[in-house]
A = this chain, B = another copy of it.
Amino acid sequence: MKASHIALLSDFGTNDPFVASMKGVILSKNPKVSIIDITHNIPPQDIKTCAFYLMVTMEYMPKNTLFLAVVDPYVGTGRAALWIKTKNYQFLTPDNGIISWIEEKEKIIEARALNNSSIFLDKISMTFHGRDILSPAAAQIAKGLSEEKIGPVFSDYRKFPYPHPVRIGNKVVGEIIAVDRFGNAITNITREYITINSVFTVGEKTISGLKPTYASVAEKSALCVIGAYDYLEFSVRNGDFAKEYGVKSGDKVEAIVEI
């Protein structure tokens, strides 16, 4: 599906020229496309954090944007590559679950396995399919390559369920769904589940009440805030909550809500 914009997500960082090589390949094939960097600082190989960022940023991107998301721990092991279409967006990723949570925003209406090697680079490395396969394919798709030419319809792609929080009486049970580079532990609990005076627990750590901003507590103190994407987060001001309290994606979170 023709696209004016390609939005990139990866765990490559920006010190090495990996992202630049992908952009070079894209612009070599499609010089007019506009590239938006969502982030390249996803924690290495953290598929769930990538899924989270995709879910929370997609609605702010221009219609028809092609998201090229490359967090690829299984590169070189024969995993498929996947093209996905929703009502307003499209996605090109390794088939490893990155697209799992976009259906919280828009239903998937078409999925294909990318297997048309005529649109890949001639020389394909073992370790960098983002540059050699996904980028040239993204360039062609954004130019308007017909969907049949991407590859066959493919419905058996990897997808992990979105963990909706559960309310039981005055208790809300959720989990950590992403940990960012600063060690902020982002939960699946959104603002409407909780109150400002709720009591929050993850692992051994309990925090009373929401703070409006990091600056509301002393340096190195832990706090709970609602982040910019409206999810409850556990943080340490100018510190690393996840490391300090041994918290990781999937850990259970509880909120006791005043009634």
Q: Which A residues form the contact surface with B (CB < 8 A)?
A: 4-5, 7, 14-18, 20-21, 23-25, 27-28, 31, 34, 36-39, 41, 45, 53, 56-57, 60-63, 65, 73, 76, 125, 127-128, 131, 180-182, 212-213, 215, 226, 228, 230
Cβ of A63: which chain B residues have Cβ within 8 Å of it? 28
B53 touches A17 (CB 8 A): yes
Cβ of A62: which chain B residues have Cβ within 8 Å of it? 24, 27-28, 31
B228 touches A128 (CB 8 A): yes
- What are 9 A-B interface contacts by the 8 Å CB criterion? A4-B31, A5-B31, A17-B56, A20-B36, A24-B60, A28-B60, A28-B63, A125-B228, A127-B213
Among B18, B57, B125, which residue has its beta carbon within 8 angstroms of that of A20? B57
Query: Contacts A31-B34, A45-B215, A60-B28 known; A20 to B39 CB distance under 8 Å?
Result: yes
CB-based nearest B residue for A42: B15
A39 touches B15 (CB 8 A): yes
**Which of A24, A61, A181, A213 has the most chain B CB within a 10 Å cutoff?**
A24
A57 touches B15 (CB 8 A): no
Cβ of A14: which chain B residues have Cβ within 8 Å of it? 14, 37, 39, 41
- Bound-state Cα–Cα, A4 to B27, Å: 10
Cβ of A39: which chain B residues have Cβ within 8 Å of it? 14-17, 20
Cβ of A76: which chain B residues have Cβ within 8 Å of it? 212
CB-based nearest B residue for A126: B226
Cβ of A212: which chain B residues have Cβ within 8 Å of it? 76
Query: Contacts A24-B62, A60-B25, A228-B127 known; A180 to B15 CB distance under 8 Å?
Result: yes
Cβ of A180: which chain B residues have Cβ within 8 Å of it? 15-16
- Bound-state Cα–Cα, A34 to B127, Å: 28
Q: A7-B24, A24-B62 are in contact. List 4 more A-B contacts (CB 8 A).
A: A14-B39, A16-B39, A16-B228, A17-B38
Among B25, B27, B60, B65, which residue has its beta carbon within 8 angstroms of that of A21? B60
A41 touches B15 (CB 8 A): yes
- Bound-state Cα–Cα, A36 to B21, Å: 10
Cβ of A230: which chain B residues have Cβ within 8 Å of it? 125
- Bound-state Cα–Cα, A61 to B17, Å: 11
